[in-house]
Structures are given as C-alpha cells and as structure tokens.
Amino acid sequence: MKKFLIILLSSILLPVFWGCNREQYSGEPTVALVVKTLNNPFFMEMQRGAEDAAKELELNLVIQAAEREVDVEQQMQIIENLIQRKVDVIAVTPSGSRELIPVISRANQANIPVIIVDTRLDEKLLKSDGAQISTFIGSDNFEGGRLAGIYIGERLNGSGKVAILEGIPGHETGDSRRLGFLKGLEESPDIQIVTSQTANWERSLGYNVFENILQSYSDVQAVFAANDLMALGALEALSSNREAENEVIVVGFDAHEEAIEAIRNGAMAATIAQHPYEMGRMAVENASRILKGEEVPDEIPVQIELITKASLPDL
C-alpha cells in the first residue's frame, strides 16, 4: 500500500514538474517577475505584458507570486529561491516597502540585477542598507491621487464631506495615493474629510467599511478609494443602503474592468488608469537591456490618467 501510494504520487507529480522544468535548460537568459499576487486583474495584466515582451525578445520568463498579498515573508522566500536558481534578472513588485530590502541585498551579493515595479521601496532604508536597484518602473501614485483630489474638489464645487478608503496601512502605494489625494484637495479648503479608514485593498471589506461609514456619516458626498476593488465594494454598499441623503461620488484607482463598466453606466464617477500591461512589458524590456550591458535610467515613469464617463470612448 505504501509503495503504491508513493508511486501514485510520484507519477502524478513527475510530469507536472518535468513540463515546467524544461525551459531552464535552454540557452536563453531567464528573467523572473515576482508580483504581489495573481488574484488581482492588475497583476494579471502585468503578467500578460511581461509574457508578450519575453516572447518578442526570446527570453525565458518565470512569473511567481505569494499565495497571499500580505505575505511578504513568502515573497522573500520566492526571491531567495530565485537567487539559488541563478536567474539573470529579478523584477519584483514589493509587497512591503521595507521588508524586502534585506533580500535585495542578497541578490546584489549574487550579482543579480533587481528591477522594482509599481511599488516603491523605502529610499532611506535602501540607502542605509547599501542595497542597489537597477531601476524603478511605475506610475506616480501620488500624482494619481492628486488628480482624484482635484476632480472631487471640482465636482463638489469646492466644499462638501468626503470619506477615504485606504489600502493596507504602511504600503507605499496606498500611502502615496492617499497623500496625493489630500494634496489635490488643498485647492478646495472647504472640503472636509469626515473619515479615512482602511479596507485592506479588498472588495468585501470595502463594502463593509463603507456601509459602516454610511451609518455614521449619512451626509457624505464623495468617497475616494485607493483601489477599484474597494470602490466597487463601496458602490455595492451604496446600492443596498439608502441611508445616504444625496448622490455619492465614487472615485477609485486602477481602471479595473468592472470599474470602467460602472463608470460607463454612471454608477461610478471616475478612476485613475495605470497601465499594468505597460509595466510588465517595460520590466522585461529593461531586463533585456541590462543583460546586454546597456544603461537604464534610475526611474522609468509609466503614464497615469483620470478616466471619467466623458473621457471613455463610445462603444
């Protein structure tokens, strides 16, 4: 029985491993892209962009992600394992702005160039630890937040009550968006932020937290969610709860497919479009340039823009 089970298990596992393993013996250099999670359309788009570029440039591409977005320790383990595997370049969207710095130092020691995508690392800690990155590719989240702030300010004619749904506290991405949003609102000093709470980037929490906000602040006029999943959650809370006295302007971030749909049918007001496909593509393209010994700039900006119903092309 024991032998039978071992044979059964190995016969299932062996072909799976074998199939995945072939690429590493071919001659082309290998680029690894480590994203935060693959349960989010944003990172799936990034994956698509990276895959297209890898095909074009004839590079091997390995894409890995932790099981859970919050699990930065697992992301660290994945990078350690990629260092063991001696991949040629590692591109990573950090799940923590500080926590990954030790493992980046280790990639430096192994002479593997590191490209940071989408989420910035803590510059101060990076410097004090002596860790080196080749380039940062991403859109300016602060600028995106600022665009959202200016938009809400204009829509409310400079005065009103606004709520914020934050991402996971301490994440650079969410913090920058929130700070950018506050900066954008500075042009409308009569706007009051009634509450700013985290919904951990999640749709279901976006629903619950915004429902609670509606209970305590039924006169809220606009909400800025630091990503579209939370904005969509807030939208669902609004449609199931009519405590709100007036129409609530919902603004998200990321230009998620469903958010675009909601903007088209008028339920949601706006979102900020980043271009994850471009980020993935540029990550692999620049990895290829590094491998050829070409210089790459310290920072490579990716376009960011405000999307409203007016700016959407007609179907």
Partner 1 sequence: MMQIQNIRQFGTFIGLLVLCLLFWILSPYFFTVSNLLNIAQQTSIIAIISVGMTFVIITAGIDLSIGSVLAFSGVVMASALHAGVPIPLSILVGFSVGYVSGTINGLLISYGKLPPFIATLGMMSIARGSALWYTNGRPISGFSDSFRFLATGDILFIPTSVWIMAIVYIIAHFVLTKTKLGRYTYAIGGNEKAAILSGINVNRYKNIIYGVSGLLGGLGAVILTARLNSAQPIAGVMYELDAIAATVIGGTSLMGGEGTIYGTLIGALIIGVLRNGLNLLGVPSFIQQIVIGAVIIGAILLDTQLKKQKE
Q: Which parts of this chain interact with partner 1 (CB under 8 A)?
A: 1-2, 5-6, 9-10, 12-14, 16-18, 20-21, 23-24, 38, 62-68, 70-74, 76-78, 80-82, 84-86, 96, 98-99, 101-102, 122, 125, 128-129, 168-170, 198
Half-sphere exposure of 141 (CA within 13 A, CB side): 23
> For residues 252, 255, 259 and 265, what is the CA-based torsion angle, rounded to 10 degrees?
110
Nearest distance, CB of residue 122 and partner 1, angstroms: 8
Cα torsion through 180, 182, 187, 190, rounded to 10: 170
Nearer to partner 1, 23 or 247 (CB): 23
d(CA 87, CA 64): 13
Q: Which is nearer to partner 1, 47 or 288 (CB)?
A: 47
Q: Which is nearer to partner 1, 48 or 98 (CB)?
A: 98
Contact 36, 66 (CB under 8 A): yes
Q: Measured from the CB of residue 134, what is the shortest distance to partner 1 in angstroms?
A: 21
Q: How far is the CB of 78 from partner 1 (least distance, A)?
A: 6
Quote the tokens at residue 264: 């088209």
311, two tokens: 């700016």
Q: How far is the CB of 106 from partner 1 (least distance, A)?
A: 9
Residue closer to partner 1 by CB (options 86, 264) is 86
Compare residues 198 and 274 and give the one whose CB is closer to partner 1: 198
Longest CA span, the chain = 75
Nearest to partner 1 of 82, 238 (CB atom): 82
Closest distance to partner 1 from the beta carbon of 270 (Å)? 27
CB of 258 to partner 1, least distance (A): 22
What does the DSSP 8-state code read for residue 168? S
Classify burial at 129, counting beta carbons within 10 Å of its beta carbon; exposed 0-12, middle 13-18, buried 19 or more.
Answer: middle
> Which residues, listed in sequence order, are joined to residue 165 by a DSSP beta bridge?
197, 225
Gap between the Cα atoms of 92 and 33, Å rounded: 6
Q: What's the full length of the chain, in residues?
A: 315
